[in-house]
Amino acid sequence: MSEESDQEKTEQPSEKRLREAREKGDVPRSRDLSGALVVLAGVAALMSGGPAAMRHARQIYALGLDYNRDALFSDALPARVLGMALREALALFAPVALATLLATFAAPVLLGGIGFSAQALQPKFERLDPIKGLGKVFALRGLVELAKSLLKLALIGGVLALALRHWQGELLDTGRGAVASGIAQSIALLGRAALTFGAMLALIGGIDALYQKFDHAKRQRMTKQELRDESKESEGNPELKGRIRQVQHAMSRRRMMQELPNADVVVVNPSHFAVALRYDDGKGGAPRVLAKGVDVLAQQIRQVAAGHRIPLVEAPPLARALYATTELGREIPAALYVAVAQVLAYVYQLKQAKAHGDVPPPPPMPEVDPDLLGPYKF
């Protein structure tokens, strides 16, 4: 069979296909969205903790200038200063690091969820083939990624250039006042520029995330033949399943015919339905269905019953009701107790009449609720 092209992959992916893709690490991912969230989280952490960050930065700066004579000649000075600087630096960057770490896991959760794939970590030496790598560069996906990168560069660069031009007056003012106010104003401008950069990245990341989800769904689509093959693998070959059902039915029919000689009566609908019943008063409970069938199987039940001298009682509504409501080996429902009791009483009277040479009793005409006939009302 010829290999089907991507244009023929019109069917939505099955759960099995998506699960296998996830196991291989093939889930929608957007590096642009991840980068945008990391930038926004870092900038937000810096701006929200601005006064505290300034205090820690000032403390680190002061450690390099605040010495006395005794400290300068102390052997413990380098270790003490280094330890204090590390503590201040950790306090300065810990909120930013924590925020960016959480943002790193946010993008995968928003798209395909966090998962670990051992298959994705396995080395694939075919990726080192320079010819295949060159082909990927000039492939459609590579060209799309190149166009996206150029578009991002132009968009972000243009927006930042416009923003800096708009803030030109504020930038010039940072060097005209006091040093502290200039530093504060410069930090504020950097924060606004970073927020603008993060917002543009978020816009691009959102668009890229939608595209990645669309592209992943498109790549996971299946052909009709793939769906049929997967159905055969998961559910089994239909021909084999049909053969198994035939064998099971044959075994069930054989067991049914073996049980049939133990029946007390066979209720028939002259030629179409036949249901064999047995009532064991020693065990209690209701009568059970030993065998049942329609058409050809019903004829076989009648023949076996005649060969074992089992009484045949014609009661068409009751035969259809028993066939519709009771499975093999099960007790009859309570709604049929009265009708079946009339048939069993007739069988008992018939045996007594034959034993004593009396006139056979008239056959019963049990009434049955039409709702119990199921699909066999007519």
Q: Which of 216, 233, 250 is the last residue of a domain?
A: 233
User: Can you tell me the distance from the alpha carbon of 24 to that of 18, in angstroms, rounded to the nearest whole number?
Assistant: 10
Residue 332's domain comprises 258-376
Q: For 59-72, what is each residue's pLDDT tens digit? A: 776 666 666 556 55
Q: Are 46 and 188 members of one domain?
A: yes
Is residue 347 a part of any domain in this protein? yes
DSSP-derived 3-state class of residue 215: helix
**Residue 277 pLDDT exceeds 90:** yes
Cα(156)–Cα(165) distance, integer angstroms: 14
* Residues 219 and 288 both lie in one domain: no
Which range, of 110-114, 201-205, 282-286, averages the lowest pLDDT? 110-114
**Closest CA relative to residue 207, chosen from 152, 139, 162:** 152
My answer on whether 345 and 229 are in the same domain is no
Residues 295 and 186 placed together within one structural domain of the fold: no
**Mean of pLDDT values over 133-145:** 62
The answer to the question of residue 242 being in a domain is no
Lowest-pLDDT range of 19-23, 135-139, 196-200, 299-303 = 135-139
Q: Are residues 318 and 172 in the same domain?
A: no
Residue 221 and residue 262 in one domain: no
Determine contact, residues 32/205, Cβ cutoff 8 Å.
yes
Terminal CA-CA length for the chain: 51
Long-range interactions of 201-205: CB distance < 8 A, separation 24+: 201/32, 201/35, 201/36, 201/39, 201/40, 201/156, 202/33, 202/36, 202/37, 202/40, 204/32, 204/36, 204/152, 204/155, 204/156, 205/30, 205/32, 205/33, 205/34, 205/35, 205/36, 205/37, 205/107
Q: Answer whether residue 57 is part of any domain.
A: yes
Tens of pLDDT, residues 331-374? 999 999 999 999 999 999 988 888 888 888 888 888 888 888 87
In a domain, 240, yes or no: no
Q: Over the stretch 286-307, which tens digit does the pLDDT of each residue have?
A: 899 999 999 888 999 999 998 8
The enclosing domain of 319 has a CATH number of 3.40.1690.10
Q: Which residues pair with 276 in a beta bridge?
A: 266, 291
Model pTM score: 0.45
355 domain residue, yes or no: yes
DSSP 110-145: HTT-----HHHHS--GGGG-HHHHHHHHTSHHHHHH
Mean pLDDT along residues 80-95: 76
The count of structural domains within the chain is 2
Q: For position 150, what pLDDT does the model report?
A: 84
Q: Which two tokens stand for residue 235?
A: 């559910």
Question: Are residues 214 and 101 part of one domain?
Answer: yes
Residue 246 lies in a domain: no
Answer yes or no: is 326 within a domain: yes
How much is the pLDDT for 266? 93
- Residue 62 sits in the same domain as residue 198: yes
With respect to residue 137, please indicate whether it lies within any of the assigned structural domains: no
Instruction: Clarify whether residues 317 and 225 are in a common domain.
Output: no
Distance CA 298, CA 103 (A): 73
Whether 205 and 278 share a structural domain = no
Query: 289-317: string of b/e by CB count within 10 Å (b at 16+)?
Result: bbbbbbeebbebbbebbeeeebbebebbb
Whole-number pLDDT of residue 265: 92
Tokens of 224: 């009709």
Asked if residue 369 and residue 223 are part of one domain, the reply reads: no
208 and 303 belong to one structural domain? no
